[in-house]
Structure 1
Amino acid sequence: MDLTIPPGTEAFLNKAGWVGATIEPLPGDASFRRYFRIRRSSGTAMLMHAPPPNEDPQPFIRSAKWLESYGMRAPIILAEQADDGFVLLEDFGEVRMREYLDAWPQDEEEVYRYAIDALLKLRGLPPGPFTGYTLAEYQREARLFIDWFIPARALYVDSRSWTNAWEEALSPLLGRQRPGVTVLRDYHAENVMLIGGLEKQGLLDFQDALVGHPAYDLVSLLQDARRDVSPELEAKMLDYYLDHIGASGTPAGEDFLADYARLGAQRNAKIVGIFVRLWKRDRKPRYLDYIPRVWSLLERDLAHPALAPVAAWFDANIPADVRATLGGTFEA
């Protein structure tokens, strides 16, 4: 863990009224952002350092303020100096959904219901002031699989038919994501904080929010790259969501489940590419350990008829032995 304090930190904290506070570095994530817990006798805060040019804190600030304005539990912005990458935030504490469930697995179903309640509330809000999730963006993300996973396994594939397969698979959902909902895009058990009771859940890591399909964040939560969610729990939570939007057992519900599978496959293919990129480009090999889980989720999604064009591409381009040994050695 990098223990260095970024230049200008103390001056920013002093200006924000936190003179003499202690600065405690925290473990990093998959980005160039760094986090610090700021302590003083009267309380704590979180400092995010997201310095340009690799990061830009403005999208986080904009998203946090929008979410908070509609009663969503994003951290309150206490101070900001965006040009230098500094944002001082409300401290949600140290209890993430993932670690809580590791300790109290008997509460799993209840905790997930509350996490889905947040998505149901988000669904009821007007779309936020964010860019729309277009087919071009879905394709750009899916391309990460081709750009990073394929060369890492020294494979040769038909990349043009990859694009065509995704266009055929994803096009049916585009009309159903209008007018759209705010999509946080990385909504999972490591980005949900429990801040006093299972129902009081704080949101993190929403700086890449777009306006898109309501199934996207649901599949991000229930097909978690970093935590096992059983198929039984996934099915229960999907039923819970569909019951609350009045779509259970209806054609609209079947369309939603098909779109859920489409977005699950797209997201999981993207994540495989990102995790390889984190290893190859950013020297973070620990993310390779998650790939077998993500691949298993991808295979489940590909079994849905809505993914037939993409499933056919995998059958034609990724050998069975490669698909069976995703925890194996990658080419240097």
Structure 2
Amino acid sequence: MTGPVLERLLADETQTARLGEDLALSLRAGDVLALKGDLGAGKSTLARALIRALADDASLDVPSPTFTLVQSYDTRIPVHHFDLYRLASAAELDELGFDEALTQGAALVEWPERAEGYLPRTTLSIELVQHGEGRLARLSGQAAAFDRAARSLAMRGFLERAGWGDARRRHFIGDASARSYEIVTLAGQEPRVLMNSPRLVLGPPVRDGKPYAVIAHTAQSVTAFVAIDRALKAGGVSVPQIHAEDQDQGFLLLEHLGSEGFLGKDGEPVAERYAAAAELLAMMHGRTWPQRLQAGPGSFHEVPPFDRDAMMIEADLLVDWYVPAISSGPPSEDLRSGYAREWNALFDRLQGSEYTLMLRDFHSPNIIWRDNRAGHDRLGVVDFQDALIGPSAYDVASLAMDARVTISPEIEKKTRDAYVAARHAAGAFDEASFLEAYAIMAAQRNSKILGIFVRLEKRDGKPYYLKHLPRIRDYLRRALSHPALASLREFYNTHGLLEERTL
């Protein structure tokens, strides 16, 4: 196998196990890791650490599969541990269900030399050789698995430079983007969050020679997060303290604000928490925020505008992805032109609306509830790198029509009313203008989400987002009930865009 090579010195068994942990954090379903080395080289130590990290169980029994040939583990990513030492021929891999295992998870293969021609070209090879009192690990490959492993090792290097090189790493959350988060723990320290935010891959041009992300003003690097984090903290919003940063590579070591969300023990939304978040928004929208934010010495982030092009390219996701999925064919030109006409008329109505720093995804997955705090400090905000200068009503709609949680009309109204009351209490506030902008932004956002959730299934292989579609359609109907949206509502009804569908 040819391709790039990475080498790491492993002074002892602890460092070998740490390499296994680092590889576990990079593993994806379909990956094959070939573990090479003589007897006693540390292959079993490496495999055991990797599997325990995936299981988040340091005491998990991980026996050698020398006699069973394969052991399977139902971990975060199912992993199948193969030992081919006793394999008579590579053809026996079929009998062991090797290909089927890869459709369900990842494979660790000891003694891969016994099946060299059988393993996929995307296999990541890890060779362990004696080196003085320790070992040398040599990683090689030529596909995404190697790239992910290399990035995970770079994250360990970042932790070492931050004084956290001995930290234990565990998967925390991922999101619909390429970003991911880990919980890292170190003896004597509070747990922290390791943020992995690779530079955005822009993709092909989609309109006027520009990629989608450029038109929609999606953050292209972690610099946006750093700048907005510092501005929000200075403005009285509880956001993570940044303990260490590498903006070039896209790594941040952050304060861990907690894990409690906006749902009660029964899984239902807690109305008081949504109201408190609305009051936090009211405080933020009463402030003046600079558009040019400092991200470091001599480094700045210009907060982009939520302009007409950005609004339209987002709304068009419904036509580009949702419509083909429900109609088994591309949208007609009449539908496209009529859709654009209706939305442009509504965007015209936003011109007199209040504009401010708009966090863009202000909803329950990105807000931490801290019951032991008081006032606005009860709310920790953790995801805001895609913030824009846009209608203040957008974030209220994002919160009150939470895309991942079923918010009843009653809780939606309580949330919106809490915001309106707080704005009135702070001074002059144009409630009628706000309510119209709220309806427009709610309709735009939920139209966009219908398209995004279908795109995540069709393009990115993430079908679990489809379960949210009935909720999003319900939110869209609510938003379209405002009199200002009567024409758009008629258009959606005429084209069957609000009908219940099973994809």
> What's the TM-score once normalised by structure 1's chain length?
0.89
Cα separation, partners in 2 of 1:67 and 1:165, compared to 1, 3 Å: same
Structure 1 counterpart SS, 2:153: coil
- Aligned mates of 1:57, 1:212 — CA distance in 2: 21
Q: Tell me how far 1:142 sits from its aligned partner.
A: 0.4
- Aligned mates of 2:429, 2:180 — CA distance in 1: 45
Q: Tell me how far 1:315 sits from its aligned partner.
A: 2.5
In structure 2, the partner of 1:51 is: 198
- Aligned mates of 1:104, 1:159 — CA distance in 2: 39
Contact 1:169 1:309 in 2 (8 A): no
Q: Which amino acid aligns with 1:46?
A: V
Structure 1, residues 238-270: CA drift from partner, whole Å, max 9, x if none? 2222222229xx993222111111111000000
- Aligned mates of 2:458, 2:271 — CA distance in 1: 37
Counterpart selection for 1:219 from 381, 387, 397: 397
Question: Is it true that 1:186 corresponds to 2:361 in the alignment?
Answer: yes
Compare 266-275 and 62-71 and name the one that shifted more.
Answer: 62-71
Counterpart selection for 1:311 from 489, 492, 496: 489
Counterpart selection for 1:94 from 259, 270, 284: 259
Question: Is it true that 1:82 corresponds to 2:244 in the alignment?
Answer: no
In structure 2, the partner of 1:24 is: 170
Gaps of 5+ in 1: none
Structure 1, residues 179-229: CA drift from partner, whole Å, max 9, x if none? x21111111111110234364110021111011111111110011111111
Structure 1 counterpart SS, 2:351: helix
Contact 1:168 1:309 in 2 (8 A): no
Counterpart selection for 2:381 from 203, 206, 224: 203
5 Å-filtered alignment, 1:256-295, equals 256-295=434-473
In structure 2, the partner of 1:124 is: 286
- Aligned mates of 2:429, 2:155 — CA distance in 1: 55
Count, aligned residues = 318
- Aligned mates of 1:29, 1:104 — CA distance in 2: 20
Q: Tell me how far 1:44 sits from its aligned partner.
A: 1.2
- Aligned mates of 1:261, 1:87 — CA distance in 2: 36
Counterpart selection for 1:143 from 289, 310, 316: 316
Identity of aligned residues (%): 34
Structure 1 counterpart SS, 2:353: helix
> What's the TM-score once normalised by structure 2's chain length?
0.60
Higher RCO, 1 vs 2 (CA within 8 Å, ≥6 residues apart) = 1
Q: Tell me how far 1:230 sits from its aligned partner.
A: 1.3
Q: Which amino acid aligns with 1:189?
A: S
> Which of the pair is proportionally richer in helix?
1
Structure 2 counterpart SS, 1:282: coil
Cα separation, partners in 2 of 1:251 and 1:310, compared to 1, 3 Å: farther
- Aligned mates of 1:58, 1:278 — CA distance in 2: 26
Structure 1, residues 127-171: CA drift from partner, whole Å, max 9, x if none? 342122112211111011111111222253410111110011221
- Aligned mates of 1:149, 1:109 — CA distance in 2: 31
Question: Is it true that 1:175 corresponds to 2:341 in the alignment?
Answer: no
Structure index of larger Rg: 2
Gaps of 5+ in 2: 1-23, 27-148, 202-219, 292-302
Q: Tell me how far 1:104 sits from its aligned partner.
A: 8.0
Contact 2:275 2:414 in 1 (8 A): no
Compare 134-143 and 307-316 and name the one that shifted more.
Answer: 307-316
RMSD: 2.2
Q: Tell me how far 1:293 sits from its aligned partner.
A: 0.2
Question: Is it true that 1:68 corresponds to 2:215 in the alignment?
Answer: no
> Which of the pair is proportionally richer in strand?
2
Q: Tell me how far 1:97 sits from its aligned partner.
A: 2.3
Structure 2 counterpart SS, 1:19: coil
